[in-house]
Structure 1
Amino acid sequence: MTHENDDVNEAIAGELALMDPAVRASRALFEPLLDPEFVEVGSSGRRYTYEDMPAWLPDHQGGSPGGPRYEPSAITGVVLAPGLVHLTFETHVDGRRTRRSSLWRRRSEETGWRMYYHQGTPVPPGTE
């Protein structure tokens, strides 16, 4: 069970890093955290791929050190299979709440854990 906890904790560390404005603003820091087959369905409903991220991520919300920051809560994870972790959590940023789900994949020890898939779903105001 300890190995599974380590895997979940490493995926959580990667998730938190991707919310850090310094990481979001640096291609050299965020690219190693994204799987080459990465896909995101953002809270806007738009679809993004690994190739889209270098242009999109630094200028997107949460990418500016002085701007609004993602405030994550209730991050939990489960190992679905060896090398595959599923995380769920919520974020609050600039008055908006979003439920999030991501899959983290580790293909090798050298590459480490990388985000393979991410989806954000806005929570309507007044919803528990």
Structure 2
Amino acid sequence: MHGGVDEAIAGELALIDPAVRASRARFERLLDPEFVEVGSSGRRYTYEDMLARLPDHPGSSQGGPRYEPSAITGVVLAPGLVHLTFETRFDGRRTRRSSLWRRRSGETGWRMYYHQGTPVPPGAE
């Protein structure tokens, strides 16, 4: 066990799975109630924003484009707090991503607390 890194990675992969994105209940369990995302557009989203726009969120359709993750790594920042970094390809675009996952005392599951995506310009390494 890596102090939650494996669980956070499993949660991250679940959140980009169209089957999970199609289920509000499953998606809801993976987001912390205090969740915040800064999207690749620069827009800020809260827990409520994400749940409200879930059906129309990119990557939610079984037949549409999917997020393709790579190079996921994680580190335990403190007990109950894991930082993940990785990259995704989606519909031909690359994005570098960073997520914080936390498990509150008394809770069994890990939830995404913060997420940020930064677009990678074509040709950049």
| TM-score, length-scaled by structure 2 | 0.96
Partners of 2:90 and 2:112 in 1: how far apart?
Answer: 21
Partners of 1:68 and 1:58 in 2: how far apart?
Answer: 14
Identify the residue that residue 65 of structure 1 maps to in structure 2: 62
**Aligned residues between the structures:** 125
Match of 2:20 among 23, 29, 36: 23
Quote how far apart the aligned CAs of 1:57 are: 2.3
Identify the residue that residue 75 of structure 2 maps to in structure 1: 78
Matched, 1:97 2:94: yes
Deviates more, 1:52-61 or 1:67-76: 52-61
Identify the residue that residue 51 of structure 1 maps to in structure 2: 48
Deviates more, 1:55-64 or 1:36-45: 55-64
Deviates more, 1:104-113 or 1:58-67: 104-113
SS in 2 for 1:52: helix
Match of 1:37 among 21, 34, 39: 34
Deviates more, 1:70-79 or 1:106-115: 106-115
Unaligned runs of 5+ in 1: none
Kindly report structure 1 stretches of 4+ aligned residues shifted beyond 3 Å. Answer: 108-111
Unaligned runs of 5+ in 2: none
Matched, 1:88 2:85: yes
Q: CA RMSD in A?
A: 1.1
Matched, 1:118 2:99: no
Partners of 1:111 and 1:25 in 2: how far apart?
Answer: 23
SS in 1 for 2:11: helix
Quote how far apart the aligned CAs of 1:109 are: 5.2
Letter in 2 for 1:104: W
Quote how far apart the aligned CAs of 1:44 are: 1.0
2:3 and 2:76 in contact (8 A); partners too: no
1:100 and 1:119 in contact (8 A); partners too: yes
SS in 1 for 2:58: coil
Partners of 1:109 and 1:93 in 2: how far apart?
Answer: 36
2:87 and 2:97 in contact (8 A); partners too: yes
Taking every aligned residue pair, what percent have the same amino acid on both sides? Answer: 86
